[in-house]
A and B are shown apart, each in its own frame.
Chain A
Amino acid sequence: MKSRQIIRFQDVCKTYVTLNGETEALRNINFAVSEGEFVAILGPSGCGKSTILSLLAGLFPPTSGTILIRDKKVHSPSRQIGYMLQQDYLLGWRTIKQNIMLGLEISRQKTRANEQYALELLEEMELLSFQNHYPHQLSGGMRQRVALVRTLATRPDILLLDEPFSALDYTTRLRLEDLVIETLRRRKKTALLVTHDIAEAIAMADRIIVMNTKPGRIKKIIPLPASLTSKPPFASRKAPDFQKYFQLIWKEMNENG
Chain B
Amino acid sequence: MANLLEAILTRGAKSPAHAQFLRKQRIQDILVRLAQIALLIVLLAFWELGARYNLIDPLLFSQPSKICDTFTKMLLAGELHQHIMVTVVETIVGFLLGTVFGTVIAIIIWWSPFLSRVLDPYLVVLNGMPKVALGPTFIVAFGGGYGGIIAMAIAISIIITTIVVYTSFREVDKNLIKLARTFGANKRQIFGKIVLPASFPTIVTTLKVNVGLAWVGVIVGEFLVSKSGLGYLIIYGFQVFNLTLVFVSLFIIAICATVMYQAVAALESRILKKRE
Contacts and interface: CB of A to CB of B under 8 A. Distances in A.
Contacts, number: 56
B32 to A, nearest CB: 31
A97 B175 CA distance: 20
B181 A85 contact: no
B193 interface: yes
Interface residues of B, number: 20
A59 interface: yes
Contact of A89 (B173, B193, B197): B173
Interface residues of A, number: 25
B275 A89 contact: no
Interface in A76-96: 76-79, 81-83, 85-87, 89, 91-93
A59 B178 contact: yes
Interface stretch (B120-128, B182-190, B220-228): B182-190
A89 B181 contact: no
Contact of A87 (B175, B182, B185, B275): B175
A212 interface: no
Nearest to A94: B197
B275 A134 contact: yes
Contacts of B193: 102, 105-106
Contacts of B185: 106
Contacts of A76: 184
A85 B178 contact: yes
Contacts of B275: 92-93, 134, 136
B179 to A, nearest CB: 5
Interface string B153-191: 000000000000000000001011011111111000100
A92 B271 CA distance: 13
Contacts of A136: 275-276
A140 interface: no
Main SS at interface, chain B: helix
Contacts of B176: 89, 91
B77 to A, nearest CB: 50
Contact of A106 (B175, B183, B198, B276): B183
A18 interface: no
A93 B182 contact: no
* Interface hub of A57, A76, A81, A89 (most chain B Cβ within 10 A): A89
A89 B182 contact: no
Contact of B175 (A82, A85, A135): A85
B200 interface: yes
B194 interface: yes
A102 B177 CA distance: 12
Contact of A134 (B175, B183, B274): B274
Interface string A54-80: 000101000000000000000011110
A103 interface: yes
Given A106-B185, A106-B189, A85 B179 contact: yes
A76 B184 CA distance: 8
A86 B194 CA distance: 18
A79 B197 contact: no
Interface in B79-99: none
B138 to A, nearest CB: 38
Contacts of B276: 92, 134-136
Interface in B233-253: none
Contacts of B175: 85-87, 89
Interface string A137-159: 00000000000000000100000
Nearest to B180: A106
A106 B184 contact: yes
Nearest to B276: A136
Contacts of A57: 182
* Interface hub of B173, B181, B183, B193 (most chain A Cβ within 10 A): B183
14 contacts: A76-B184, A78-B184, A79-B184, A85-B178, A85-B179, A86-B175, A89-B179, A92-B276, A93-B198, A93-B200, A93-B274, A106-B189, A134-B275, A136-B275
User: Lowest 6 A-B CB distances belong to which pairs?
Assistant: A83-B182, A136-B276, A77-B184, A106-B183, A103-B183, A106-B185
